[in-house]
Amino acid sequence: MHKCDGMLMETPDERSKPKRMRFAREDVLVKIEEAISNIVHQLSKGIPPTLTYPSTTAWGDVCFNEDLGLQMRPNQRQTTIRFESLQSLKKFGMMLKVLAVMYRLVKTNHYCTKRDLYYQDPTVFGNQHTLDSLVNNIACMLGVPRWHLHVLASSKGCIAGDLMFEDADNNYIDCRNSQMKTIHMYRQEKYECIKGIQVPNHVTGIHNIVTCARFILVVEKDATFQKLLEDKVCNTLGPCILITGKGFPDVNTRMLLRRLWDMFSIPMMALVDADPHGVEIMTVYKFGSRALAFETCYMAVPSLKWLGLLPSDIESIGIPKKALIPLTKADQDKGAELLYRPYMQHYPAWKLQVEYLLRTDKKAEIQSLDSIGPSFLSEVYLPSKMRCCGWI
């Protein structure tokens, strides 16, 4: 990286150097043409055509590598969509329709979001989830990430702190100025809403990235993200970057984190609720997800550290019992299922944390730290955790 006035910035040579496998538009067009040509060939032989893609519906379909995250298995189990089957005929037709749209987008060098794609024909797709699955299946079938098929996910994540870049449309974005104060009127009183910059939809189009951040804090919830901005954590603990996926992370937030890690090797840590769903969200950032295991190398950050809120912190820092919440049946089921995921065998300390949750039958949200003190999270908890890890 080129260092200028204490800032890390991407140099032209490094921008041109591929971090992961990249596909030229011509290569993507050829892959789509080959898929259609195969269908035509089957029809010419009097064979009912099929579309086949690797399956990722069960944990047995993926394997785990500590340095890479969740990966597709060699000799992956396949799912076949058959034209002659009444059960899969509609899906076969929808996949062909989406392939046709993708081909046109790549050919004309235009992009659209999955949301836009759905609304091109909502009566055919039925719901957004169906369309999302079709896009994932086609990307997996072709072996091409969806953004190279010119279909982008819609962003919901926000980012703030020491980060500047230009987006795909060459707009200059300065996340240091993301603490925009919006004045609202309520009962004739003024109050301020502090926000962040929305993560761009076209993450691969971001360029001229500059930062001097010492670490990146990944925050599970938007409410905590806003609280940390309000407490000016970017100034007191910074220079740093705060980012949130507002719950279960979207693809673009994960892609941006991975890109920053690839470029700058900035230490990253996760702040999530001390409950099974918080643990799962942290593992998705770190290892990727089962459903998108074929894109893990573009989204997972294996170096991510679990900063907190640890289940064992509930007792060690003395969170009041009135601030704790009993585990629901869904929490218990999620916790039990987490224990048998492939990565848990490599992280016995994490397994102990989940077992602690199930044994005590209590969970704590990050906001429960406010019951100790309104500034306990930003002035005590985070600084002490980071000093222990040597990050500040």
Q: Provide the annotated active-site residues.
A: 119
Q: Which of 91, 12, 16 is nearest to 53 (CA)?
A: 91
User: Quick check: helix, strand or coil at residue 352?
Assistant: helix
Are 71 and 292 contacting, i.e. CB atoms less than 8 angstroms apart? no
Residue 195 burial by Cβ neighbours in a 10 Å radius (0-12, 13-18, 19+):
middle
For residue 364, give Cα distances in angstroms to 226, 287, 311, 378: 19, 24, 8, 17
- Tell me how long the chain is: 392
Interatomic CA distance for residues 54 and 367, integer angstroms: 41
Tokens of 222: 């938007």
CA angle 207, 201, 140 (to 5 degrees): 100
DSSP-based helix, strand, coil % in the chain, nearest 5: 45, 20, 35
Interatomic CA distance for residues 310 and 298, integer angstroms: 27
Interatomic CA distance for residues 207 and 167, integer angstroms: 6
User: Quick check: helix, strand or coil at residue 160?
Assistant: strand
One-character DSSP codes across 251-312: HHHHHHHHHHHHHH---EEEE--BSHHHHHHHHHHHH--STTGGGHHHH--TT-EEEE--TT
Task: Return phi, psi of residue 80, to 5°.
Answer: -115, 125
Interatomic CA distance for residues 281 and 272, integer angstroms: 8
For residue 349, give Cα distances in angstroms to 160, 272, 346: 31, 16, 9
